[in-house]
Amino acid sequence: MREEYDFSQSRKNPYVKGLKKQVTINLDSDTIDYFKEQSVDVGIPYQTLINLYLSDCAIHKKRLQMTWK
């Protein structure tokens, strides 16, 4: 490895802002517990599992279908 590197010609990654965006969301404790249990089984952090699930819904354009009784 070099002792010093020259970053004077470097540029920022133009895609970094489009990768992830931090948001605040209120979730029920039961929902969080469910994803935490799943994360232990599959070895993926629960926040990542929630993101994967929501991404799948968006990609497949799943619509929420609720019926009130």
Convert the pLDDT of each residue in 43-59 to its tens digit.
Answer: 999 999 999 999 999 99
- 9 DSSP 8-state letter: T
- Per-residue pLDDT, 26: 97
Convert the pLDDT of each residue in 4-35 to its tens digit.
Answer: 999 999 988 887 777 788 899 999 999 999 99
Q: Which pTM does this prediction carry?
A: 0.68
| CA–CA dist 34, 56 (Å, integer) | 18
- Per-residue pLDDT, 2: 85
Q: What are the residue ranges spanned by the domains of the chain?
A: 27-59
